[in-house]
Structure 1
Amino acid sequence: MSETILTNARIVTRDAVVSGSLRIADGRIVEIAEGPSAATGAIDCEGDLLIPGLVDLHTDNLERQVLPRSNARWPGVSAYLAHDAQCIAAGVTTVLDALCLGDLGFDTERGQTFRDGVRDLDRLADAGVLKADHHLHLRCEIPALDMPEALDSVADHPRVVMASLMDHSPGVGQYRDLVRYRAMRVRQTRMTDAEVEKRVGELLERRDRLRRPQRDWMLARIAHRDLPLASHDDDTEATIAENLADGIKISEFPVTHAAAKAAKENGMEVIAGAPNIVRGGSHSGNVNAAELVEAGRVDAFASDYVPSSMIEAAWGLAARGTLPVPEAIALVTDRPARMARMEDRGRIAPGLRADLVRLRPFEALPALRGVWVAGERVG
């Protein structure tokens, strides 16, 4: 039996911060003991905090490694290894890689990123070379013409643990401000104003025609999996009502106070973007997530597009006194683990996986000094 003892640590449990030692054996937490350990070979944590490994329900970070610059696609396996390393460096030990299924005409590279990402995850995970525990989160672009074919190819994939319904059509959700949307597309592409306007009209027509039938098809296609289902970028109370009627119980990145309020009042769980907290607001002009936290309308954070944002967001809330340390840390550990129905992680408690992060606060930032996945030191 392989055993590791971490001592002289401040251990963040679900309810308290305990000064003591942690004993790990065969990848599991065996014992939490108050006070220092006298065992030979115990690792001195020098008073640092020990928290559970972070659980990221939604990260697009792989897309950023695959396309570090526009029209500069990076080799898939190399990109995945870089993504994995960045997650571990950010203390994220369980990763739900949120791959996008479907293109609305502005992100034509995403189809290849999805196909390559599934293939590369299988190859790398089966070879045992990934440091974090990776799974798949299917982000289904509901009005996209190619979404059904993409979903059908992975609907029964064993690494799929979550799915979300997205609609990035102009005029709704994240892009409900059409003036801002048009300006963004002109800036991001080489299209003229007239070309963007023509594309907007095509997308709105397609949404009217395909949104509901493809939504129904998507829900039926994966119903047998009984996966956690999330809606993406909810903006109105009517959107929340429709999601509830469809059996969706998670609101992911709501973009308005009204949507987040309706979600919580109707028993849905809410995921907020950690970068919103770190930056002090939304990058696209939507609701400030810190205000949702203060109103009690956030159950978990996800990194969205910056892995390091999760621990920075959680620790920032604790450092500012917005939340007690155990409650702030739970936003990126225990709560997302439960949303993903992973009951074996997310907390420091006997019997659970020894996914652990050692950190030392530096001003308002957490400096990571060690990461363990299933008891193995990986960072």
Structure 2
Amino acid sequence: MSDETILTNARLVLPSRVETGTVLLRGGSIAELSSRRSTAPGAIDLEGDYLIPGVVDVHTDNLERQVMPRAHARWPSVSAFLSHDSQTAVAGVTTVLDALCLGDLGFDESRLRTAREGVRDMMALTEAGVLKSEHLLHLRCELPATDMLPMLEEFHDHPLLRMVSLMDHTPGVGQYADADRYRAMRVKGGASREEVERRMAELTAQREVQAEPNRRALLGLLEGREVPLATHDDWDPEIVARNAADGIGISEFPVNLPAARAARAHGMAVIAGAPNLVRGGSHSGNVSAAELAREGLVDIIASDYVPPAMIEAAWRLMDEAGMELPAAVATITANPARSLGLHDRGRIEPGLRADLVRIREFGRMPVVQAVWRGGARIA
């Protein structure tokens, strides 16, 4: 049996142009590109559909959604991971960084269990060769949490680790700079007002004690490692400058324009959330991703919590920010791959991995028709 696959009559989304042509896949890699239509027996006619590189998602919380599909209904961990994997694959995400939280600030204790089980299941399922997408590890480190550092010390040298982000979800800073909004969110989630007020005061005091020592310890543990560091929910240009001085190269979901502009000024890659673009705004009242994109301040799009939003968000960049399709697609393929040091994927070029997605447009909506990872059809 031949290990070759020929995909022809496709609109190839290349790094700088869209060109109708043919791709030859061999041994898990892209072997050849041609602008001609193939007449070889067995060639797969893509009927003029788009062919883009496999999507690289640097941050998704989707596993948490599968573990807790409904409040108080925890799903078995392996089953949840396999469901998560299937959803990423059919969404065209061939490389996914599962963002798992280290550290609890008192409202999300179950996330620590999800992190431990997620790391365990990721490794076991990867070694078993049963996953459709390639899953890698993104550790989200809650700096003010008393239990963050012990968990980081446990996982910081994990072989699948590809990214670490520094978070601070204390009310009054970052994503929750609007303390009143935070208060209302927690009450709506079922906590009493008295409990919320007490916990907010405790968290503010805890941040004063824990955040800085934990930050220093984290940076020390990862010093000299080729693991990209990101900060989560940047809101203050002065803090962005400090992050850049500490060697942090990625600003993940900046909450306002000044923070995003500061990140760009310091040469940091800026990540925006796909749901923000698809929904037309932030679910938590922060800056619109479309506004960032119009200012040229979006380098990477991440699924955040909806893997199917990735490709739709890239398509929306053409209308929302006037981007050409190759540049828009690069925000979900080449740019995230480069930021992670994954230089073997993210572009349709000979010698790179044959991670590819076939897309047909329904009006202006991109619809995934087929997905290949390493030359093998996975969806």
TM-score (norm 1): 0.98
Deviations for 1:127-175, whole angstroms, at most 9, x for unmatched residues? 0000001100110011111101111111111000110000011000000
Question: Does the residue aligned with 1:158 lie in a helix, a strand or coil?
Answer: coil
Question: Match of 1:253?
Answer: 253
Question: Does the residue aligned with 1:47 lie in a helix, a strand or coil?
Answer: coil
Question: Match of 1:217?
Answer: 217
* Bigger mean CA offset, 217-226 vs 247-256: 217-226
CA distance in 1, matches of 2:232, 2:202: 22
CA distance in 2, matches of 1:319, 1:192: 43
**8 Å Cα contact 2:94/2:134 also seen in 1:** yes
CA distance in 2, matches of 1:367, 1:194: 47
Question: Match of 1:115?
Answer: 116
CA distance in 2, matches of 1:298, 1:100: 24
CA distance in 2, matches of 1:53, 1:217: 35
Question: Match of 1:95?
Answer: 96
Question: Match of 1:156?
Answer: 157
Q: 1:55 to 1:130 in 2, by over 3 A?
A: same
For residue 58 of structure 1, report the CA deviation from its aligned partner: 0.3
For residue 52 of structure 1, report the CA deviation from its aligned partner: 0.1
Percentage identity across paired residues of the two chains: 57
Matches within 5 A, 1:136-215: 136-189=137-190, 191-215=191-215
For residue 194 of structure 1, report the CA deviation from its aligned partner: 1.3
Question: Does the residue aligned with 2:137 lie in a helix, a strand or coil?
Answer: strand
Question: Match of 1:368?
Answer: 368
CA distance in 1, matches of 2:128, 2:262: 45
CA distance in 2, matches of 1:180, 1:305: 21
Q: What is the root-mean-square deviation in Å for CA atoms of aligned residues?
A: 0.9
CA distance in 1, matches of 2:321, 2:208: 46
CA distance in 2, matches of 1:219, 1:321: 36
CA distance in 1, matches of 2:222, 2:124: 24
Structure 2: runs of 5 or more not aligned: none
Question: Match of 1:315?
Answer: 315
Q: 1:321 to 1:220 in 2, by over 3 A?
A: closer
Question: Does the residue aligned with 1:116 lie in a helix, a strand or coil?
Answer: helix
Aligned AA for 1:343? Answer: H
**8 Å Cα contact 1:319/1:364 also seen in 2:** no
TM-score (norm 2): 0.98
Question: Does the residue aligned with 1:305 lie in a helix, a strand or coil?
Answer: coil
Q: 1:87 to 1:143 in 2, by over 3 A?
A: same
Aligned AA for 1:268? Answer: M
For residue 241 of structure 1, report the CA deviation from its aligned partner: 1.4
Aligned AA for 2:7? Answer: L
For residue 319 of structure 1, report the CA deviation from its aligned partner: 5.3
Aligned AA for 1:152? Answer: E
For residue 321 of structure 1, report the CA deviation from its aligned partner: 7.0
Which aligned runs of 4 or more in structure 1 are off by greater than 4 angstroms? none
**8 Å Cα contact 2:294/2:321 also seen in 1:** no
Aligned AA for 1:322? Answer: G
**8 Å Cα contact 2:290/2:321 also seen in 1:** no
For residue 374 of structure 1, report the CA deviation from its aligned partner: 0.3
**Count of residue pairs the alignment pairs up:** 378
* Bigger mean CA offset, 174-183 vs 218-227: 218-227
CA distance in 1, matches of 2:369, 2:210: 49
Question: Does the residue aligned with 1:225 lie in a helix, a strand or coil?
Answer: coil
**8 Å Cα contact 1:170/1:176 also seen in 2:** yes
Question: Match of 1:3?
Answer: 4
Structure 1: runs of 5 or more not aligned: none
Question: Match of 2:357?
Answer: 357
Q: 1:151 to 1:321 in 2, by over 3 A?
A: closer
Matches within 5 A, 1:319-338: 322-338=322-338
**8 Å Cα contact 1:62/1:79 also seen in 2:** yes
CA distance in 2, matches of 1:33, 1:290: 35
Question: Does the residue aligned with 2:297 lie in a helix, a strand or coil?
Answer: coil
Matches within 5 A, 1:28-107: 28-107=29-108
Question: Match of 2:233?
Answer: 233
For residue 246 of structure 1, report the CA deviation from its aligned partner: 1.4
Question: Match of 1:302?
Answer: 302
For residue 192 of structure 1, report the CA deviation from its aligned partner: 1.5
For residue 221 of structure 1, report the CA deviation from its aligned partner: 1.2
CA distance in 1, matches of 2:315, 2:281: 17
Deviations for 1:257-291, whole angstroms, at most 9, x for unmatched residues? 00000110111110111110000000000001101
Matches within 5 A, 1:333-352: 333-352=333-352
For residue 363 of structure 1, report the CA deviation from its aligned partner: 1.3
Aligned AA for 1:37? Answer: S
Aligned AA for 2:235? Answer: D
Q: 1:321 to 1:248 in 2, by over 3 A?
A: closer
CA distance in 2, matches of 1:221, 1:117: 22
CA distance in 1, matches of 2:214, 2:257: 28
Question: Match of 1:278?
Answer: 278
**8 Å Cα contact 2:294/2:320 also seen in 1:** no
CA distance in 2, matches of 1:351, 1:324: 25
Question: Does the residue aligned with 2:144 lie in a helix, a strand or coil?
Answer: coil
Question: Match of 1:244?
Answer: 244
